[in-house]
């Protein structure tokens, strides 16, 4: 049923949602290819759930259209759309047992003999034994699987998941992430997954759309988003980034040479999403794990051609697999470095003068007109997000 027509892509064209004067979702174009695991990632209030609800038909878009394959479903009520939702709170029917909850969609479509399908589906989510229990008798993780089974049994064109793992504890969440990924691979249905957990989005999805203030900031594969963020929001929201304000000095071939705090940094032109003019400002970004850290006395051993900056260790925390350092540097007050604990240099204690160096290929460049803190989780970050949304 799910693979009957080839053009099963979900297409949103110019879709937007306004509540009074507040715009929850700005006009948005998005295509989710059939069979993909797609994640909408963003902080709360970024419009990701509203977008999902517009696809489900639970929210009427203020403009634009929703298409499933070749069919424009914008005007269809939810019960006529071939999509199903796994709700954040699961929304299982408390008066029906697990079996009837799962059979609900089939029965509403007038299918009489549901037993085989329900049994198969309960088997898929490993709840065959619990069929005659009521939802409140199950644990959170089991309820979550019922919610998935209840939606999947209808073989929807698209399965919409609204923060389905939000209510579970960390360990169960990791387990369910793998479980959902396994089910998705097994049934081949398009999954659109809404989450605020960047790790969840990155582990599960093929494609992630990072949303902020009702807009999609960037769309791409998890690795692409992580390695080549196009905005400070994405750089900070997905993992941690060190951002340095720098001035364009010269352009030599494919590389851009920048001045920052008296030193020079090299940035491949292809990895810079901002326009560069000599004398203009650019934000230089580098991920903490890409940086090597050496004692100032050993600075001579650093190979040529690497970006380097100097600083002093302000803080270090040993977390087993790595040590996380916070470096005070003239170019950036709180520079973060994650060093693998392979050969620990015992001289690297707080107060030590150090040199940081990394390959220019790992550097990325961003438009300097943005807030440095967008997408961070501190107060300042949320404020910055709020400003962007306004």
Q: Is 338 in the site for other proteins (CB under 8 A)?
A: no
Among 36, 144, 154, 195, binds other proteins (CB under 8 A): 154
User: Which 38-67 positions form the footprint of other proteins (CB under 8 A)?
Assistant: 56-58
Question: In this structure, are residues 376 and 236 in contact, taking their beta carbons and an 8 Å threshold?
Answer: yes
Q: Is residue 371 a contact residue for other proteins (CB under 8 A)?
A: no
Nearer to other proteins, 134 or 251 (CB): 134
Contact stretch for other proteins (CB under 8 A) within 67-75, 147-155, 232-240, 375-383: 147-155
Q: How far is the CB of 10 from other proteins (least distance, A)?
A: 16
From the CB of 106, what's the least distance to other proteins, in Å? Answer: 9
Output 1 or 304, the one with its CB closest to other proteins.
Answer: 1
Rounded Cα distance between 9 and 85, Å, is 17
Residue 136 as a binder of other proteins (CB under 8 A): the answer is: yes
CB of 285 to other proteins, least distance (A): 40
Q: In terms of C-beta density within 10 A (0-12 exposed, 13-18 middle, 19 or more buried), how is residue 281 classed? A: middle
Q: Would strands 207-212 and 37-41 be described as parallel, antiparallel, or unpaired? A: parallel
Q: What distance in Å separates the CA atoms of residue 233 and residue 215, rounded to the nearest whole number?
A: 12
- Residue 243: count other Cβ atoms within 10 Å of its Cβ: 21
Is residue 173 near other proteins by the rule CB under 8 A? no
Q: Are 143 and 135 in contact (CB under 8 A)?
A: yes
Dist. CA 76–CA 306, nearest whole Å: 58
Rounded distance, CA 273 to CA 294, Å? 30
Contact call for residues 34 and 184 (beta carbons, < 8 A):
no
Instruction: Please identify, using beta-carbon distances, which residue of 136 and 171 lies nearer to other proteins.
Output: 136
DSSP-derived letter for residue 239 is: S
Per-residue string for binding with other proteins, 103-122, x by CB under 8 A? -xx--xx-------------
312 binds other proteins (CB under 8 A): no
The 8-class DSSP code of residue 176 comes to H
> Using the rule CB under 8 A, is 74 a contact of other proteins?
no
Q: How far is the CB of 298 from other proteins (least distance, A)?
A: 56
Segment near other proteins (CB under 8 A); pick from 91-99, 245-253, 271-279, 283-291: 91-99
Binding other proteins (rule: CB under 8 A), the pick from 16, 36, 85, 190 is 85
Pairwise CA distance, residues 54 & 64, whole Å: 10
Q: How far apart are CA 275 and CA 160, in angstroms?
A: 38
Query: For other proteins, how many residues bind (rule: CB under 8 A)?
Result: 26
* Least distance (Å) between residue 276 CB and other proteins: 49
Region near other proteins per CB under 8 A, out of 100-108, 232-240, 247-255, 281-289: 100-108
- What's the Rg (C-alpha) of the chain? 25
CB of 137 to other proteins, least distance (A): 10
Residue with tokens 């937007």: 16
Q: How far is residue 221 CA from its own chain's centroid?
A: 10
**Residue of the chain from 27, 45, 78, 128 that contacts other proteins (CB under 8 A):** 78
Least distance between other proteins and beta carbon 60 (Å): 13
Q: Which residues contact 228 (CB under 8 A, 6 or more apart)?
A: 220, 271, 273, 364
The two tokens of residue 71 are: 């069919």
The CA distance from 294 to 297, in Å, is 8
Residue closer to other proteins by CB (options 91, 389) is 91
CA-closest candidate to residue 12, choices 34, 29, 25, 32: 29
- Of the listed pieces 5-13, 93-101, 260-268, 344-352, which binds other proteins according to CB under 8 A? 93-101
Query: Rounded to whole angstroms, how far apart are CA atoms 373 and 237?
Result: 10
126 near other proteins, judged by CB under 8 A: no
17 makes contact with other proteins (CB under 8 A): no
Should residue 171 be labelled a site residue for other proteins when binding is judged by CB under 8 A?
no
The site for other proteins (CB under 8 A) is made up of 56-58, 77-80, 83-85, 87, 89, 91-95, 104-105, 108-109, 134, 136, 150-151, 154
């Amino acid at each position: 049923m799910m693979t009957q027509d080839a053009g099963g892509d979900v297409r949103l064209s110019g879709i937007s949602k306004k509540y009074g004067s507040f715009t929850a979702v700005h006009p948005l174009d998005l295509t989710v290819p059939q069979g993909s695991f797609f994640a909408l990632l963003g902080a709360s209030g970024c419009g990701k759930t509203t977008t999902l609800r517009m696809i489900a038909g639970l929210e009427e878009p203020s403009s634009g259209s929703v298409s499933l394959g070749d069919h424009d479903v914008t005007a269809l009520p939810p019960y006529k759309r071939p999509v199903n939702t796994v709700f954040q709170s699961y929304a299982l029917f408390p008066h029906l047992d697990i079996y009837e909850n799962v059979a609900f969609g089939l029965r509403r479509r007038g299918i009489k003999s549901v037993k085989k399908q329900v049994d198969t589906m309960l088997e898929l989510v490993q709840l065959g034994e619990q069929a005659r229990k009521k939802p409140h008798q199950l644990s959170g993780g089991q309820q979550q699987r019922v919610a998935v089974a209840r939606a999947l049994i209808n073989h929807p064109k698209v399965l919409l998941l609204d923060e389905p793992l939000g209510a579970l504890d960390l360990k169960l969440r990791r387990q369910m992430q793998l479980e959902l990924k396994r089910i998705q691979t097994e049934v081949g249905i398009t999954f659109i997954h809404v989450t605020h957990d960047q790790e969840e989005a990155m582990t599960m999805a093929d494609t992630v759309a990072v949303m902020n203030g009702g807009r999609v900031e960037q769309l791409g594969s998890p690795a692409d988003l992580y390695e080549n963020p196009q905005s400070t929001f994405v750089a900070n929201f997905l993992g941690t980034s060190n951002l340095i304000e720098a001035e364009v000095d010269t352009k030599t071939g494919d590389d851009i040479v920048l001045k920052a705090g008296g030193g020079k940094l090299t940035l491949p032109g292809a990895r810079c999403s901002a326009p560069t003019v000599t004398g203009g400002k650019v934000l230089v970004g580098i991920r903490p794990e890409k940086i090597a850290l050496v004692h100032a006395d050993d600075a001579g051993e650093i190979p040529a051609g690497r970006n380097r900056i100097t600083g002093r260790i302000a803080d270090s925390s040993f977390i087993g697999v790595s040590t996380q350092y916070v470096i005070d540097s003239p170019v950036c007050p709180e520079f973060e470095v994650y060093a693998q604990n392979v050969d620990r240099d015992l001289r690297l204690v707080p107060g030590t003068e150090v040199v940081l160096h990394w390959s220019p290929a790992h550097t990325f460049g961003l438009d300097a007109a943005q807030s440095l803190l967008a997408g961070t989780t501190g107060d300042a970050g949320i404020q910055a997000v709020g400003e962007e949304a306004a």
